[in-house]
Amino acid sequence: MQCLEGDFSYTMLMIQMLFQVVATDSGTPSLSSNVTVNVFILDQNDNAPVILYPLSSNGSAEGVEEIPRNVNAGHLVTKEVTDHSLFGLDRYTGQIRTLRSFTETDEAEHKLVILVKDNGNVSLSATATVIVKLVEPKEAFAASDIKSAAKDDEDDNFHVVATDSGTPSLSSNVTVNVFILDQNDNAPVILYPLSSNGSAEGVEEIPRNVNAGHLVTKEVTDHSLFGLDRYTGQIRTLRSFTETDEAEHKLVILVKDNGNVSLSATATVIVKLVEPKEAFAASDVKRQEASAEIRYLVPEEVNDGTVVGNIAKDLGLDKALLVDRRFRVVPGSKETFFEVNSDDGALQVRRKIDREEICHGSGPCLVELKILVENPLEMHHVVVDIADVNDHYPSFSENEQTFEIGEQSSLGTRFQLHAARDPDAGTNSIRTYTLTSNDHFDIEVIQIVATDSGTPSLSSNVTVNVFILDQNDNAPVILYPLSSNGSAEGVEEIPRNVNAGHLVTKVRAYDADIGYNGWLLFSLQEVTDHSLFGLDRYTGQIRTLRSFTETDEVEHKLVILVKDNGNVSLSATATVIVKLVEPKEAFAVSDVKSAAKDDEDNNVTFYLMITLGGVSVLFTISIIVLIAMQCSKSTDYTSKYLQETNYDGTLCHSIQYRSGDKRETMESWKRSSNYSWCVLILNLLLIVAKQAVAELRYSVPEEVKEATVVGNIAKDLGLEKAYLIGRRLRIVSGFEDTFFSVNTDNGALQVRSKIDREELCHGGGACLMELKIIVENPLEMHHVVVEITDVNDNSPSFLEKEQHFQIAEHTSLGTRFQLQAARDPDVGVNTIRTYTLSSNEYFDIDLSQSDEDKIPFLVLKKPLDREENKKLLLLVTAIDGGKPPRSGTLNVSVTVLDINDNRPSFSQDVYQIQMYENVPVGTAVARVHATDPDEGNNGDIEYRIAKALEPKIYETFELNLLTGEIKLGAPLDFEESEIYKIDIEASDKGTPPLIGRCRVVVKITDVNDNSPKIDVTSLSNTISEDSKPGTAISLISVTDKDSGVNGKIISRILNDAPFELKPSYKQNIYSLVTKEHLDREKVSLYEILIQATDCGNPPLSTLKTLSIRVSDVNDNSPRFEKNPLQFYLSENNAAGASIFSVRATDIDMDDNAAISYYIVRGGSKDDVTAFLNINLENGQIYALKSFDFETLKTFHFQVVATDSGTPSLSSNVTVNVFILDQNDNAPVILYPLSSNGSAEGVEEIPRNVNAGHLVTKVRAYDADIGYNGWLLFSLQEVTDHSLFGLDRYTGQIRTLRSFTETDETEHKLVILVKDNGNVSLSATATVIVKLVEPKEAFAASDVKSAAKDDEDDNVTFYLMITLGSVSVLFIISIIVLIAMQCSKSTDYTSKYLQETNYDGTLCHSIQYRSGDKRYMLVGPRMSIGSTIVPGSHANTLVLPDRRRTSEEVSHALESVVFSSHLYHS
């Protein structure tokens, strides 16, 4: 066999190569034939895309593109792939274009990272980076833009030139277009917020009194108080904050892409609400002069009448006047829970309070009450804080959660569980989740317990069902045949004369997977002769398909493929060598003796013990029988053997003696002195009876005429023709003799009736008929085998006359479609030889050999096109190998199925629409229409608005997905957008669906509906408290998009503040200046309310609030949020890197709040602060060395924060650092351990141990803790997987089964010990297991010394002596038994009755019939089949019933047991 000596490359060889193979025999002269082989190279995805542009000077795929800032939408930036909101990408050409015009707020530089991937099953990819810089337009820029556009066309493709080495050389070129496809291989990266330590965390402080719509930050969230723009990442407030809202909100944001397997990142934003200063609150609450606020706290669920607080006392009111002043709570919704006692001025609970009913969420639950007193009129504000009690259990939305997890999921893979809900707040809310003990998904059910932090704590649990999904990760393992070196090879020897259906062997295999992944199928991959052997594909049994002939080879090689049924099937092969041997009588005996001798040589002691036990048992039984016979003797033999006239039994046991022509009665024979010799001769004759049988073999074709001579039996058997009639030559009556007869005149075997081989023999094996030929005087029986040879008398036929296929029009070339196989009852060369296909341009026919059948396949050679041919009619012809050949036909129809290969097409590429901005919602905007020439679902169209458009488009317009009608879904606003560009997609319902696109451009016409707009520029929101009057703070510009009178504006400050608007020389431009001195201690924050009103009718106005903060002097020291601080640091940190940071705050401003940090260092030698350094400005702490958890687990130090004021102030904080363990220690093997320190050991175990025997235990430890120190054991290498098993948790090695004689005496086991760290570390240990033979002193030798070795050597000698002694006693007992039987009385009168009409050559027989359990004398007219056959049980007696005397048993043993003894001896 010629082997492949190199790799084929599709890109080098293209798609086809051709060569010829010549087959030559070894005759003289030699003959040869050749065949042409066409090899088609199929492309595989083995080349990653290569970036041609952009390409930097160092070879990396990076480039910089400069474009003017004033380019219009659609400008060609470059030809690469991108995903940015400012740019659009053509996914097939790689062109990047701008989607809109740039504004002043857009960044000047944009980085685009492009992923280019191919469409292979396992796609390959490359990336390119494009830096887009916005530059100011210049005169010369237009020229460069034209040049770059010309260059773009060149960059669309590149040319490859192939040149040969001839003279002159010839060449050709090909244009290669590279289309770069994106693959989702990059998780989102959080740019903001970003903390100083690099984590995606940030803190945003906003005033509590901001209005709805205030921009918090530009990140993603889904909290109830905040709204998220899912495209821009802006977080805005959805409503104004109230007093009940918490002061701090933690928002965890998930940022994910839209890949098939989406990737994500998270960011954390802490939103802190800060209170406006005292002066701010006073100005805001100035509506009432006598306003005051009192705060109380009361737990929920308290009893009615519980006193919350004494309002009269706290407000300084006279209790005696409360009734007259009508002291009361102003009615409202939440005030129904409280009332005031006008007698003592106490605030009381009116009815039961449920905090969860009043306040939703985890923030403070505040109830604001208005307390009114008259004469004079006063209103007081009282805030009651409802404290939470732990009155709710955590609860899960569902009691069970199910995961389906692949069995090879990576360690550390995360699976999100349902979160529990607890209406309680604060510490009573959910504190933690716990997991019930499990073996890391080795069990199916896990329980999750959610526990809150209340006192007492409440908990709830949920059951999680985890189903481990099997993957096809285990190849089949061959159990038999298995050679001594472990390979799946075996040799089977079978006699040449076995019949069809003989079981040769059974291939056994198993697969550790389950379901379809573990379902094994067997197939013959290679066989020397397909007509000889068949394989059961489900059981693996190999059987003969026909009898062997003299022409068959002596040795046959069968290669069996065992494969599972996984999606990607795994397989193994086994090789069976079948050797044909000649049948011999001694073949089996010699095989057994040789096997026994081998075992005896190796296990003398073991077999001597078994033999001794067997002989001892036989000896004991013989003694018992002898005693029983002596005790039951009787001399009455009358009617012992009577002729049974009405016999109706089922069995007849007989002893017969052939004496030729001499006849003796049984009585005289028994009296003769040659009794023993006669019995011995009788048994010898019976043994060689079968040797006298001859066998002849003839062959005759089927369908021959009657009286056709098959062969001359008389001649072949050496019989004289003259005596054939006298000796009654004939065929014994049977089924076969109806087809044949014997001519007694000449001894010829003739055909008696027409023979149909297919009717007699089914299958492809040899058709043999066995005839029994009888001749008499003397009686002889001969066996004749007639082989019926096949003639081509049957045509191939198909089970069904028609077969139909439905094939998609773009099915891949080379796809095979199995046709039904034809059937031909003929065999050999007369069976089906080939299949032909009617002429067509789309399909060829190909044959596949399966066992001995040829399976036809249609092979697609040209792509189908439904538009050309919707249906094809083909004719398949099956032709046999007869002469002349016969054939059968099959009509094949192929229906070409439509696939989705046409995109929907719009009637217009661009629809232009114009509308007024004040048209009502629901107005029809336009109707788009697309068509698709495909059929069925492939032609059904649905419309949708394209993704990745401006969010406003989805809010403003609605599209009917069936009709394509666009309606107005929200009011239009000319000032927001003058034009809307709506990209519409029309998608069919094919698989996969195809999409057509068009654009609808909606232009908006303006109407007068705008209020004035106040813009604040150059705002300085901080002013020093010592500023002089007239100091300018900011410049204010007021504009109105309307024109005429509607655009005239009047501006003023509404509230009372020490500021004024000073007009500028330019209309509608003002300066905000101070008009008096400021005092920060009185007011630190001013909210200035500016109103701008136009002169329209009715007038429209706008309010603008400016926040002005007064700066402070340095009167506050820095403060840390917590003291002490705790940090957790992983060991093995990089020396010199930042490990964590501390942060202090100073409520002062500017330099007074500029904080510097330093570490308080001790003077001791072991002071850990010597290895720490701190950044003076930001508090980043750096470690100058790498810490080791095993050496140092925790330490602490102090950090001092000092501000930069004059004089400076400072504070300190204690920092506790806890070192976290990392998996940096590999497991260490404790046992086994050799003398040289290597992890190796030898274990000796007896060969006769049972399954489950503990061989040894591998011990190891890991210096790490937790998961890093949790060790798992696995077998990395083992000579026989079926012998030993390893407990993965304890390291115990046990036997899986008992050892057999074929098992090797030494086994090497390599054990892998690894920990459970994220990057696990491992060690290996080697255990050599030696099997030793069991001995009596074996167990004792483990405890005692080896002093008794000499005694063990004498065991065999003593056993042989004992065996010999018992055998001698046994033989003596048998001799005594025979002597006692021979000394009996000789009176046998009427024991054997004389047959009066005896005329044959056979003596009388003693027969025992099982029907009536009686002995009787039988005459000589018995058939030859009733004689004793060697090896049968015809000489075994059934004990008589209880009515028989003991003497009958004794005399039965006299004649039969003795005969049996002589026969076996």
**Model confidence band, residue 352 (pLDDT cutoffs 50, 70, 90):** confident
User: What's the pLDDT band for 1217 if we cut at 50, 70, 90?
Assistant: very high
List, for residues 479-494, the tens digit of each pLDDT value.
999 888 888 899 999 9
The mean per-residue pLDDT over the stretch 406-418 comes to: 66
Q: How confident is the model at residue 1354 (pLDDT cuts 50, 70, 90)?
A: low
Q: Please tell me the least confidently modeled range out of 401-405, 935-939, 1252-1256.
A: 401-405
Task: Let me know: does 370 contact 384? Beta carbons within 8 Å.
Answer: no
The beta strand positions in 871-923, using DSSP E, are: 871-880, 887-897, 905-906, 910-916
Rounded alpha-carbon distances, angstroms, from residue 384 to 216, 381, 1148: 29, 10, 32
Question: Hey, how many other C-beta atoms are within 10 angstroms of the C-beta on 1302?
Answer: 7
Q: Each residue of 513-567: pLDDT tens digit? A: 888 788 899 998 888 888 889 999 889 999 999 898 888 888 999 999 999 988 7
Q: What is the pLDDT of residues 556-593, one digit of tens each?
A: 999 999 999 887 788 899 999 999 998 754 344 344 44
| pLDDT at site 226 | 81
The band of 132, judged by pLDDT with boundaries at 50, 70 and 90, is: confident
Q: Which range among 472-486, 952-966, 1354-1368 shows the weakest confidence by mean pLDDT?
A: 1354-1368
Q: What is the pLDDT of residues 1086-1118, one digit of tens each?
A: 999 999 998 877 788 999 998 888 887 787 889
Average pLDDT rounded to a whole number, residues 1010-1020:
77
Taking the C-alpha atoms of residue 161 and residue 308, their distance in angstroms, rounded to an integer, is 94
- Report how far apart the first and last C-alpha atoms of the chain are (Å, whole number): 57
Task: Please tell me the predicted confidence (pLDDT) of residue 1404.
Answer: 42
φ, ψ dihedrals at 1182, nearest 5°: -115, 140
Query: Does the structure show a pLDDT above 80 at 1188?
Result: yes
Residue among 620, 623, 634 at smallest CA distance from 1450: 634
Rounded Cα distance, 482 and 114, in Å: 55
Kindly tell me the sign of the dihedral angle through the C-alpha atoms of 49, 50, 55, 58. Answer: positive
C-alpha closest to that of 940 among 982, 999, 984, 900: 900
- Per the model's pLDDT, the better-predicted residue between 919 and 595 turns out to be 919
Backbone angles phi, psi at 1342, to 5 degrees: -70, -30
Q: Which residues does residue 287 pair with via DSSP β-bridges, in sequence order?
A: none
Question: For residues 50 and 334, which has the higher predicted lDDT (pLDDT)?
Answer: 50
1357-1394 pLDDT per residue, tens? 778 888 888 888 889 988 988 888 887 555 444 444 34
Beta strand residue intervals within 481-619, DSSP E: 489-495, 503-506, 508-510, 521-527, 533-535, 541-544, 555-563, 571-581
Q: What is the pTM of this model?
A: 0.30
Contact of 880 with 833, CB cutoff 8 Å: yes
Q: Copy the structure tokens of residue 533.
A: 């052997």
pLDDT of residue 1407: 45
pLDDT digits (tens, 9 = 90+) for 1151-1180: 888 999 999 987 777 788 888 899 988 899
DSSP class of residue 1185 equals S
Note the pLDDT of residue 850. 64
In contact, 384 and 369? CB cutoff 8 Å: yes
Provide the mean pLDDT of the chain. 76
Q: What is the per-residue pLDDT across 811-868, written as a single tens digit (0 to 9) for each?
A: 889 999 999 999 888 888 888 889 999 999 999 999 887 666 788 999 999 998 887 8
Instruction: Write out 167-191 in H/E/C secondary structure.
Output: CCCCEEEEEECCCCECCCCCCCCCC
Phi, psi dihedrals of residue 854, rounded to the nearest 5°: -105, 120
| Res 1461: pLDDT | 42
- What pLDDT shows up at residue 770? 87
Res. 22: pLDDT tops 50: yes
For 166-198, write each residue's pLDDT tens digit.
Answer: 777 788 777 777 777 767 777 787 777 776 676
Helices (H), 378-435: none
pLDDT higher than 80, residue 1128? yes
Mean pLDDT confidence for 634-641:
40
